[in-house]
Amino acid sequence: MTARVVLAGLLALSAPLASAATPPPQAAGAPADPAATQAQLQALRGQVKRQDTEVTQLKSKVETLETASQAAQRELEERDRKIAELRRQLEAGQGH
């Protein structure tokens, strides 16, 4: 369940990446200022890089959570198997 929440967060983070990759439209007839455009582009690249780093970190957390979940599931299955075996032994001992 937690992994799904994190994945939903990853998807939510990816939406701004798509819009950040395209610069905002220029006002009609306004000349483009190369220095301002370059600064805006650099700022957007920095934002994309930070978000990429965050996505990578979240993916790592998801993998860690999935691994922990799988380990917990195996432990529960083993515990249930041991309980069933002990019940069989108890029933066999009471039958004699």
pLDDT in tens, 25-78: 555 555 678 999 999 999 999 999 999 999 999 999 999 999 999 999 999 999
Rounded Cα–Cα distance for residues 23 and 59 (Å): 27
Look at residue 23 and tell me whether its pLDDT is greater than 90. no
- pLDDT on residue 7: 62
Instruction: Tell whether the model's pLDDT for residue 9 goes beyond 80.
Output: no
What contacts 54, CB < 8 A, 6 or more positions away?
Answer: 13
Residues 44/21, Cβ–Cβ less than 8 Å:
yes
Q: How confident is the model at residue 95 (pLDDT cuts 50, 70, 90)?
A: confident
